[in-house]
A and B are shown apart, each in its own frame.
Chain A
């Protein structure tokens, strides 16, 4: 393979990590030879962002206009035409992001380019293969192409490292020219910030969750200590949030948050259906409950039938010991 194009993704005047992840992968695929081409669509005022891109691409093709500050699908599609006509490549990478998922299918359809979504790896030995997951990650599918065809991939965020990307002396090619058309059908309205609040339990890898078995707000530190030792966060069942022992944002379940951590430790939680609905997707579920008949044990991978006030301190102690 000789040429790979990467579509730069930016939001709120920041280049997003996925861009660097794709640039890194492109360099790796070309193994020092060939050309990495960065494609940039943006506002004239965002020209400064290019300083972060040009060092990592052999060529950066930028289309700058006064209406491209925020992503608008129809306007961006029209603008893309202007740059893409100047680019020849075998592989085009875009992010499997809200932006890419909206944009890429339209481009693939317009230019009749074979398209693979949510790609977690790409192999380019003799042939080009894209690897994507199926059945909730249970199997990997290898997608290949007929010889001579181009491929467009949307790449899953975090699939490739964003660091240590080779630096090359890149040239910048600015494209001008008006884009025409009626883009009013879908326009950018506003950017809504996610409410910043307490800890976001949906992002945690390790969750120590407490239920009514914790008995009192004064006992929450027992769970917090275990969470700290493990590098995790504390969550809870609804009654615990109701009693305001923990903020509502920490509630797991149908009327709370759905979490999928690597490890979910349920302390004194019976495992009602409404609670299970929010956590049964966790990779490993560990339950501590003194009632052997508690429904939580029906979905737990590991269970301890005992008093949590005995088990948890001992567990915390052991974890601290192991972690030195």
Chain B
């Protein structure tokens, strides 16, 4: 907390910015939003009072995809300036009701939708997954997190992952109702204190069971656990990495042909932020019948779906076409039958865009684990 008290530009070293503009040049939302990240950086170093940013709704347009940080030749993290401004807004209570509700839900119930704690493991009711707290140390812990626990659409992904893990005879457990939100989105909405609280709560359990490997549903949780949780010794993997390892080790193979022409949408938190580009593609290609066609904008250049950085709870300026719609239209042009992705937020935003562009009959959005489950002959049931 000490460092928080330093003014933003000092804390993030923003005075060393050379204003080259590569950040704005690569920023996916700058195509449509008044958000100009280069300008935000400049202004934050010359303005006496950062309160001027409080009325700028575009601060909430940022999806924290972090393209700006990857492109910055000075190695700065412009995205953190946005998060820093949000921290100030949260600190002074100058935030929208939807965000207050999300933070409140995470504080009281351990999930940003404010759903009941004791319903967290309901999705797994009939699956008889062992309680990780009763397992011996050194095992695999599946960290489900909020979207996969509560959103019926994402529950299908969690169930599919269970199908895949079982096919490979992996013994693993979940924390059940003892799990709380990883806090990634909470931090990005500017509530560092609450993030730390959630981290401590999860860390208590991690330290108790000392898992060898923690596998996450979402790249957002993977990123938080791997890069932001302090003192976590376990290996943290996104499911795409873990499943690819199972295939490589010969523990898993797909026996059912899934004849489908697909493209793969790189989730920002998996690809850009953690360099995991190949594993999901390798998993895809090992499913018989799958033909993968790449987006023009793929890998490091992948177009963000706008699902992260608190955008689930806060629309920002809401100006311009949704990038998820652009993505769906690009995919249609490529003539694929499905967009495959590996992140709950991408899944939701892209699926929503298929609806809003009126293309439900023409294209599907499928999570990588759902596809893998199909490759094992188990068709996941989506409501």
Given contacts A273-B153, A277-B113, A255 and B355 within 8 Å (CB-CB): no
Given contacts A248-B318, A254-B312, A254-B313, A273 and B101 within 8 Å (CB-CB): no
Q: Which listed residue, B152, B311, B352, B383, touches A293 by the CB 8 Å rule? A: B383
Given contacts A254-B113, A256-B98, A258-B101, A272 and B153 within 8 Å (CB-CB): yes
Contact A242 B356 (CB under 8 A): yes
Contact A239 B355 (CB under 8 A): yes
In the bound complex, what is the Cα–Cα distance between A272 and B312 (angstroms)?
A: 13
In the bound complex, what is the Cα–Cα distance between A51 and B275 (angstroms)?
A: 71
CB proximity of A16 to chain B, nearest CB, Å: 21
In the bound complex, what is the Cα–Cα distance between A243 and B356 (angstroms)?
A: 9
Given contacts A254-B312, A254-B313, A258-B101, A273 and B152 within 8 Å (CB-CB): yes
In the bound complex, what is the Cα–Cα distance between A295 and B356 (angstroms)?
A: 18
Contact A274 B348 (CB under 8 A): yes
Contact A273 B312 (CB under 8 A): no
Q: Which listed residue, B98, B114, B152, touches A255 by the CB 8 Å rule? A: B98
Q: Is A212 an interface residue (CB 8 A)?
A: yes
Q: What are 22 residue pairs bridging A and B, where the CB atoms are less than 8 Å apart in the complex?
A: A238-B352, A239-B352, A239-B356, A242-B322, A242-B356, A243-B356, A248-B315, A255-B98, A255-B314, A256-B98, A257-B98, A258-B97, A258-B98, A258-B101, A272-B153, A272-B352, A273-B113, A273-B152, A274-B348, A277-B114, A293-B383, A295-B383
Q: Is B254 an interface residue (CB 8 A)?
A: no
Closest to A189 in B: B92
In the bound complex, what is the Cα–Cα distance between A248 and B322 (angstroms)?
A: 15
Q: Which of B145-170 contact A (CB under 8 A)?
A: 150-153
Give 9 nearest A-B pairs by CB, closest first: A273-B151, A239-B356, A255-B315, A277-B113, A295-B383, A254-B313, A255-B313, A242-B356, A254-B312
CB proximity of B97 to chain A, nearest CB, Å: 8
Contact A295 B152 (CB under 8 A): yes
Contacting residues, chain A, for B152 (C-beta < 8 A): 273, 295
Closest to B312 in A: A254
Chain B contributes a number of interface residues (CB within 8 A of A) equal to 22
In the bound complex, what is the Cα–Cα distance between A238 and B348 (angstroms)?
A: 13
Q: Which listed residue, B98, B150, B311, B318, touches A273 by the CB 8 Å rule? A: B150
Q: Which residues of B contact A (CB under 8 A)?
A: 97-98, 101-102, 113-114, 150-153, 311-315, 318, 322, 348, 352, 355-356, 383
Contacting residues, chain B, for A295 (C-beta < 8 A): 152, 383
In the bound complex, what is the Cα–Cα distance between A248 and B96 (angstroms)?
A: 14
Closest to B325 in A: A242
Q: Which listed residue, B113, B114, B151, B355, touches A212 by the CB 8 Å rule? A: B355
Q: Chain A, 293-317, contact with B by CB distance < 8 Å: what is the 0/1 string?
A: 1010000000000000000000000
In the bound complex, what is the Cα–Cα distance between A256 and B311 (angstroms)?
A: 11
In the bound complex, what is the Cα–Cα distance between A271 and B315 (angstroms)?
A: 19
CB proximity of B102 to chain A, nearest CB, Å: 8
In the bound complex, what is the Cα–Cα distance between A258 and B114 (angstroms)?
A: 12
In the bound complex, what is the Cα–Cα distance between A223 and B232 (angstroms)?
A: 54
CB proximity of B148 to chain A, nearest CB, Å: 11
Closest to B99 in A: A255
Contact B153 A255 (CB under 8 A): no
Contacting residues, chain B, for A212 (C-beta < 8 A): 355
Additional A-B contacts beyond A239-B356, A255-B312 (19; CB < 8 A)? A212-B355, A239-B355, A242-B356, A254-B98, A254-B113, A254-B313, A255-B98, A255-B313, A256-B98, A257-B97, A258-B97, A272-B352, A273-B113, A273-B150, A273-B151, A274-B151, A274-B348, A277-B113, A277-B114
Closest to B115 in A: A277
In the bound complex, what is the Cα–Cα distance between A238 and B315 (angstroms)?
A: 11
Contacting residues, chain A, for B313 (C-beta < 8 A): 254-255
Closest to B321 in A: A242
Contacting residues, chain B, for A256 (C-beta < 8 A): 98
Contacting residues, chain A, for B114 (C-beta < 8 A): 277
Q: Which of A230-277 contact B (CB under 8 A)?
A: 238-239, 242-243, 248, 254-258, 272-274, 277
CB proximity of B19 to chain A, nearest CB, Å: 33
Contacting residues, chain B, for A242 (C-beta < 8 A): 322, 356
Q: Which of A109-149 contact B (CB under 8 A)?
A: none
CB proximity of A251 to chain B, nearest CB, Å: 9
In the bound complex, what is the Cα–Cα distance between A277 and B152 (angstroms)?
A: 12
Contacting residues, chain B, for A277 (C-beta < 8 A): 113-114
Contacting residues, chain A, for B98 (C-beta < 8 A): 254-258
